[in-house]
Structure 1
Amino acid sequence: MTKALIVVTNNAKFDKLYKATGIWLRETAHFNKVMQENGIDVDYMSPKGGYVPIDPLSLAPDMMDQIDWQYYLDDEFRNTHLAKSLKPADIQPADYQVIYFVGGHGAMTDFPENKELASIASAIYNNAGIIAANCIGVSALLAIRTTDGKRFVNGRKLTSFTNDEEALNGLTNDVKFLPEDELKKSGATFEKGEAFKSHVVVDNRLITGQNADSATDVGEAVIKALLK
């Protein structure tokens, strides 16, 4: 049976600010929904395992749609996937054909330099699996190296949360780094669409989305890639 590993942050606070953060709910709910509709089982993993915070801004009434509410009110999602997420030591990469990194500003702290997450992603990819990531979750790719030691993103087409979008958030000077800048510095060919509109880039078995509204389309692109 095909399985997807959904990777989420444990970080509940901005690095430079006393401001709550975590995962952006839509980015996991919408991707999970696509997996569920296509009969793909999911597990949730975080860098430390256990509790996964939700960015409170992603729960605002104008941010929540029917799918978001479905997962937010789901007992298994809240009490198992988010309250008791798996840790890297629990994971056998051979069990998964897809790994998906969820965004939200929390991911800026515990994704970009995480060698354990990078090792699991590399193992899945090198076993003909798919690496998918959305928004700030794409920063997890910065830690991945190829078998010859080069950066995984070097020369690859991708997208992530853009500098323009962070500026529109008013957080440019408050975040730890700007994913667009760091991915470009690492040799990625960065492609961006309109701010806060769905935009997905597919480069073989690497699938990335620009922002929260891209999560469904990232999921659909994963399904299409699995069917090849």
Structure 2
Amino acid sequence: MHSSKLLFIAIGLFTVSVFAESSTELDEVNNRIQIENTLNNYIQGTSYSNPKQIDRAFAPQANLYLTKKDAPHWIVPATTYRSWFENKELGKFTGRIGEIISIDIADDVAMAKVEIMIPKGQARFVDYMLLKKLDDQWQIIGKTASKAASNQHGKRILFIVSSHSFHGDSKMRAGTSFSELVNAYKEFKKAGYTVDFMSPDGGAVSLAYIDTSLPSHKKYIYDHQFMHALAHTKTPQQVNAKDYRAVHYVGGSNAMYGVHDNPQIAAISMEIYEQHNGIVSSVCHGTAGIADLKLSNGKYLIDGKRISGYPTKFENTKADYFQHFPFDMTKHLRLRGANFEIGERGKPFAITDGRVITGQNYQSSSLVAKQIIEKLQQLDANN
């Protein structure tokens, strides 16, 4: 066989392989979107008394396997379940706050985990859903749930992370600081907040500085809910600013790229700050993300404010990675009018200036989160 024919066949096989792979990935994305729509019909239908949305979520023959006093095996048909919402006022909030925790898909079946918070009752339900694709439509065919006491109140914090895996256009690896993620996350969860993750591109993000000899790292690297959220970060298009009380820009060397110059992220942050009386916060290299934020009057957010972040004097300015930074952190913040302050190296250092809260390094992550929580409590008390 001629070499040209062999080449043609090889190219053809490669094309088919790439197309099949792309088609499979597209199918997975479409299936996930459809499943999320089904689960959101369940969440919204039960949160705002809309039986028609509940009908769209459940297959007609679906059953719910629930528990009540003296009935540990209480089987409720989906049709009966939806009837519980028929006599309620359509569209009126029922006190249920729902959140999709995870989705696991295998061909035409899927398992999903949904969190339902009822702040007034200080309760948290975890729903386990079995879904199947029926007549090209994903529907819930079974559900069971557990219940526990909870301090969760439904108020939300938006963590902003970079989508970059390398320094600039180089092949030098960069990622989001795992310590900065887990140290702040655990403080917010302990205080009853819900945490969402957003990145410029959405989806899985690169992580750095993971050390599973540290108890907090070991705990969260094996926490399915936490890691699933980092594998499926939201895009800016999926985020509604009015849902959040604060934004928190997380550091790691990749935080220097793709965040500070993203107009959609900036718009979300400034809406939370200006229209919803929220907080803008950052830690370490995450402070690069707030450097260019502008108020509606055209003034830089950090102009005249006491700000902290990872200073240039702690960088190895002769190293290759530093040459890819879009700007010198210290100079840039001061150019924007910030009163840039530095604490002792390797020690926690955080500053609250109004509704802008910043920290110097990963050691400051917990402190920044605590200051955010304290400020939010003050704001809520004054409303």
**TMscore range, shorter length:** over 0.9
Q: Could you list the structure 1 runs, at least 4 aligned residues long, displaced by more than 6 angstroms after superposition.
A: none
Asked whether 1:194 is paired with 2:347, we answer no
Partner of 1:226: 376
- Asked whether the equivalents of residues 211 and 217 of structure 2 are also in contact (C-alpha less than 8 Å), the reply is no
* Pick aligned residue for 1:75 from 208, 224, 242: 224
Asked if residue 98 in structure 1 is aligned to residue 249 in structure 2, the reply is no
Matched, 1:123 2:276: no
State percent identity of aligned pairs.
27
Greater gyration radius: 2
Determine whether 1:157 maps to 2:311: no
> How well do the aligned residues superpose, as a CA RMSD in angstroms?
1.7
The offset of 1:219, in angstroms, is 0.6
Q: Retained in 2: the 8 A contact 1:6–1:44?
A: yes
Distance 1:68 1:48 in 2: 25
Alpha-carbon distance between aligned partners in 2 of 1:107 and 1:173, rounded to the nearest angstrom: 13
User: Contact 2:167 / 2:321 at 8 angstroms: preserved in 1?
Assistant: no
* Residues 166 and 173, structure 2, Cα contact 8 Å, conserved in 1: yes
Displacement of 1:135? 0.6
- What one-letter code is carried by the residue in structure 2 that aligns with 1:76? Q
The alpha-carbon distance between structure 1 residues 36 and 150, as it changes in their structure 2 partners (threshold 3 A), is: same
Aligned AA (1:213):
Q
Deviation at residue 174 of structure 1 after TM alignment:
3.0
Q: Give the total of aligned pairs.
A: 223
Question: In 1, distance between residues paired with 2:223 and 2:328?
Answer: 33
Deviation at 1:164, TM superposition (A): 2.1
More strand as a share of residues? 2
Match of 2:51 in 1: none
Cα distance in structure 2, aligned partners of 1:68 and 1:172: 25
Counterpart position of 2:282: 133
Structure 1: which amino acid aligns with 2:221? Answer: Y
Aligned with 1:59 (options 194, 198, 210)? 210
**Letter of the 2:375 counterpart:** A
1:53–1:67 distance in 2 versus 1, CA, 3 Å: same
- C-alpha distance in 2 between matches for 1:88 and 1:208: 22
Contact kept? 1:105, 1:136, Cα under 8 Å: yes
Indicate the residue corresponding to 2:159 in structure 1: 6
- The structural deviation recorded for 1:23 is 0.3
Identify which of 20, 23, 42 aligns with 2:173: 20
Aligned: 1:179 with 2:332: no
User: Given that residues 7 and 99 in structure 1 are in contact (C-alpha distance below 8 angstroms), is that contact kept between their aligned partners in structure 2?
Assistant: yes
- Which consecutive residues of structure 2, in runs of 5 or more, have no partner in the other structure? 1-153, 379-383
Distance 1:43 1:197, change over 3 A: same
Q: Deviations over 1:158-210 (max 9, x none)?
A: 10001122139956743412212211111100011011211101101100000
1:207 corresponds to which of 352, 357, 372: 357
Q: Is the 8 A contact 2:245 2:279 kept in 1?
A: yes
Quick one: distance in 2 between partners of 1:173 and 1:4? 31
CA–CA separation in structure 2 for the residues paired with 1:211 and 1:132: 13
Counterpart secondary structure, 1:215: helix
Aligned residue type for 1:21: A
CA contact (8 A) 1:6 1:99 kept: yes
The CA deviation at 1:18 is 2.1
Render the CA deviation track for 1:46-86: whole Å, top value 9, x for unaligned: 1111111102xx1246xx6211221111111212x111100
Alignment of 1:34 with 2:182, yes or no, is: no
TM-superposed CA distance for 1:110, in Å, is: 0.9
Cα drift, residue 112 of structure 1: 1.6
Offset of 1:153 from its aligned partner? 1.1
> What displacement does 1:132 show?
1.0
